[in-house]
Structure 1
Amino acid sequence: MLKQTPLYNLHLELGARMVPFAGYLMPVQYGNGTLHEHLHCRSHAGFFDISHMGQCLILGDDAVPELGQLIPSDISGLKSGDQKYTVLTNSDGGIMDDIIITRIDTGLMIVVNAACKDKDFKHLYSHLGGRCCFNELTSQALFALQGPAAASIMEKFSAQAAELSFMQACGTNIKGIKCNVSRSGYTGEDGFEISVGHHYAEQLARLLLAEDDVEPIGLAARDTLRLEAGLCLYGHELNESITPVEAGLQWLIKKADNNFPGAEKILAQLQHGSEKIRVGLLIDSKIPVREGSVICNSEGIAVGYVTSGSFSPCLDQPIAMAMLDPYTVDLGSPLYTMVRDHRITVTLTPLPFIPHRYYR
Structure 2
Amino acid sequence: MPLVDESAVRPHRVAVLVRPGVMPLELGAVHQLFGTARRQEGPAAGTPLYDVVTCTVEPGRVPTDADFALDVPHGPDVLDEAGTVLVPATHAPDQPETGGTLTPALATALTRLRPGARIASICTGAFVLAAAGLLDGRRATTHWQSAAAFGRLFPHLTLDAEVLFTDDGDVLTSAGEAAGIDLCLHLIRRDHGAAVAADVARRTVVPPYREGGQAQYVPHPIPEAHGTSTAPARAWALEHLDRPVPLHELAAHASMSVRTFTRRFRSETGCSPGRWLTRQRVERARVLLEETDRPVDAIAGDVGFGTGASLRAQFRDVLGVSPIVYRTTFRGGIPSD
TM-score w.r.t. the length of structure 1 is 0.27
The structure with the largest helix share of the pair is 2
TM-score w.r.t. the length of structure 2 is 0.28
The structure with the largest strand share of the pair is 1
